[in-house]
């Protein structure tokens, strides 16, 4: 067990000092691309500024015989691209028990560590996985002469990882956040679904029978398979001051269900999601940005509450200090997004009624 006094000390001589607080940078959409695919790679420079995060994927969806090409491709892309101030560069390395993970880290940190913001680690089982990556990154950062630490993002893809979620979140000051990996997690839990995220028509509740007629017409409502998992992930992240994300939604064509799943995650506390196809980018940006109406209402409550004590009546509803805290979440998010998104800055600066007119 590490002493609390040592938690924010570098784990290698010459490594940068760990951060005491995770930067609150917009990351509504983490757009995945395959660096070994020339067509995808050619589109990366044009996407800078249009998405919050561009992630060079080295793991799933990259075949074994393309792993080295993907790694080399990401190095080439990073060196040739100016990502500016508003787009982060992340990567998802291969699983820590794979033949490629060590080379992924040693190559990327020493070659493009100055460009890399976050390393996403798949199939994290417990704090021991984060401790391994933490120490290795510190040694590589020192070797490369980096002046800022690279952060770590873990994917929850196993039942063991889910059980250990709190200790994973608190394992290192490098921890930036967590993402839900629904497909691998479903398999590890032995869930009976072949879908990548989203709901399932068989997971439902049904109203009681009328007059005892169990075969009669009865309304049903589909339930959310991932509600518990996302809520627990959000709590663990909030406890440790890091950020929760929904992961992939595999049905690219069903943009309606995709938006529903993203919105569920947003309302539960997630700050962003993955994008597997360009069609999901605008959905994610829209869903993970508060509406103009919500921002306007939140500002009214903040203004009405004054010093934040007591209670007021606004539009026939009681607002008190708890309401104020909720509204500050919306206002602070709107202000943060407005700093990097001119369209949102304009939208949030105008009252909804004025926009409609």
Question: Tell me: the pLDDT tens digits for 50-79?
Answer: 999 999 999 988 999 999 999 999 999 999
Q: Tell me which residue of 57, 52, 118, 107 sits closest to 85, measured CA to CA.
A: 52
Q: Which residues are annotated as a binding site for substrate?
A: 92, 157
Mean pLDDT of 133-148: 98
Residue 327 lies in a domain: yes
Q: Identify whether residues 254 and 211 lie together within a single domain.
A: yes
pTM for the model stands at 0.93
Q: Identify whether residues 200 and 343 lie together within a single domain.
A: no
Residue 144 lies in a domain: yes
Q: Compute the distance between CA of residue 222 and CA of residue 206 in angstroms, rounded to an integer.
A: 9
Q: Identify whether residues 197 and 327 lie together within a single domain.
A: no
For residue range 187-206, list pLDDT tens digits in order. 999 999 999 999 899 999 99
| Contact indicator for 24, 150 with CB cutoff of 8 Å | no
* Domain around 331: 292-349
Q: Which residues are annotated as a binding site for Mg(2+)?
A: 157, 184
Q: Identify whether residues 204 and 298 lie together within a single domain.
A: no
**Per-residue pLDDT for 306 more than 90?**
no
Q: Identify whether residues 60 and 114 lie together within a single domain.
A: yes
Residue 41 lies in a domain: yes
Q: Which residues are annotated as a binding site?
A: 92, 157, 184
Total Cβ atoms within 10 A of residue 74: 29
**Per-residue pLDDT for 300 more than 90?**
yes
Q: Identify whether residues 135 and 108 lie together within a single domain.
A: yes
Residue 195 lies in a domain: yes
Provide the pLDDT for residue 284: 97
Provide the pLDDT for residue 350: 52
Cα separations (Å) of 297 from 270, 291, 331?
21, 10, 9
For residue range 148-184, list pLDDT tens digits in order. 999 999 999 999 999 999 999 999 999 999 999 999 9
Mean pLDDT of 93-104: 98
Q: Identify whether residues 213 and 343 lie together within a single domain.
A: no
Of 207 and 5, the one with more pLDDT: 207
Domains of the chain: total? 2
At CB < 8 A and 24+ separation, what contacts does 192-195 make?
Answer: 193/225, 195/250, 195/251
Provide the pLDDT for residue 267: 97
Q: Identify whether residues 298 and 226 lie together within a single domain.
A: no
Residue 6 lies in a domain: no
Provide the pLDDT for residue 5: 87
**Per-residue pLDDT for 356 more than 80?**
no
| Contact indicator for 52, 177 with CB cutoff of 8 Å | no
Residue 202 lies in a domain: yes
Mean pLDDT of 82-103: 97
Cα separations (Å) of 16 from 19, 148, 234?
9, 5, 29
Of the candidate ranges 295-299, 307-311, 320-324, 351-355, the one whose mean pLDDT is the lowest? 351-355
Q: Identify whether residues 167 and 195 lie together within a single domain.
A: yes
Q: Identify whether residues 305 and 185 lie together within a single domain.
A: no
**Per-residue pLDDT for 243 more than 60?**
yes
**Per-residue pLDDT for 26 more than 90?**
yes
What b/e readout covers 94-111, taking b as 16+ CB neighbours within 10 angstroms? bbbebebbebbbebbbeb
Q: Tell me which residue of 231, 244, 233, 237 sits closest to 270, measured CA to CA.
A: 244
Q: Identify whether residues 63 and 161 lie together within a single domain.
A: yes
| Contact indicator for 219, 201 with CB cutoff of 8 Å | no
Q: Identify whether residues 98 and 142 lie together within a single domain.
A: yes
**What is the overall mean pLDDT for the chain?**
94
* Cβ within 8 Å of residue 73, ≥6 positions away: 35, 36, 41, 56
Residue 8 lies in a domain: no
């Amino acid at each position: 067990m590490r002493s609390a006094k040592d938690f924010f000390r570098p784990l290698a001589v010459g490594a940068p000092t760990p951060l005491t607080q995770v930067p609150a940078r917009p990351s509504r959409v983490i757009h995945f691309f395959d660096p070994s695919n020339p067509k995808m790679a050619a589109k990366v420079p044009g996407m800078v500024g249009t998405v919050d995060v561009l992630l060079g994927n080295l793991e799933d969806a990259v075949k074994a015989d393309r792993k080295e090409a993907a790694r080399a491709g990401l190095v080439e892309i990073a060196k040739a691209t100016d990502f500016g101030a508003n787009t982060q560069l992340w990567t998802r390395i291969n699983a820590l028990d794979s033949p490629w993970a060590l080379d992924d880290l040693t190559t990327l940190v020493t070659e493009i560590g100055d460009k890399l913001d976050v390393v996403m680690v798949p199939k994290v089982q417990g704090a021991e996985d984060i401790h391994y990556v933490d120490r290795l990154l510190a040694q590589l950062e020192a070797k490369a002469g980096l002046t800022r630490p690279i952060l770590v993002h873990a994917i929850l893809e196993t039942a063991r990882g889910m059980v250990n979620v709190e200790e994973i979140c608190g394992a290192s000051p490098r921890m930036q956040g967590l993402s839900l990996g629904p497909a691998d997690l479903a398999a590890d839990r032995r869930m009976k679904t072949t879908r990548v995220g989203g709901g399932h028509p068989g997971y439902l509740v049904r109203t009681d029978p009328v007059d005892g007629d169990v075969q009669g017409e009865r309304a049903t409502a589909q339930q959310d398979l991932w509600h518990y998992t996302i809520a627990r992930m959000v709590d663990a992240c909030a406890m440790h001051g890091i950020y929760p994300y929904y992961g992939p939604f595999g049905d690219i064509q069903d943009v309606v269900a995709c938006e529903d799943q993203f919105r569920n995650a947003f309302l539960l506390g997630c700050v962003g999601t993955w994008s597997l196809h360009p069609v999901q980018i605008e959905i994610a940006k829209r869903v993970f940005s508060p509406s103009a109406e919500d921002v306007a209402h939140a500002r009214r409550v903040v203004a009405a509450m004054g010093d934040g004590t007591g209670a007021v009546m606004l539009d026939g509803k009681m607002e008190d200090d708890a309401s104020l805290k909720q509204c500050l979440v919306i206002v602070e998010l709107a202000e943060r997004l407005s700093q990097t998104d001119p369209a949102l800055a304009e939208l949030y600066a105008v009252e909804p009624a004025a926009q409609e007119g």
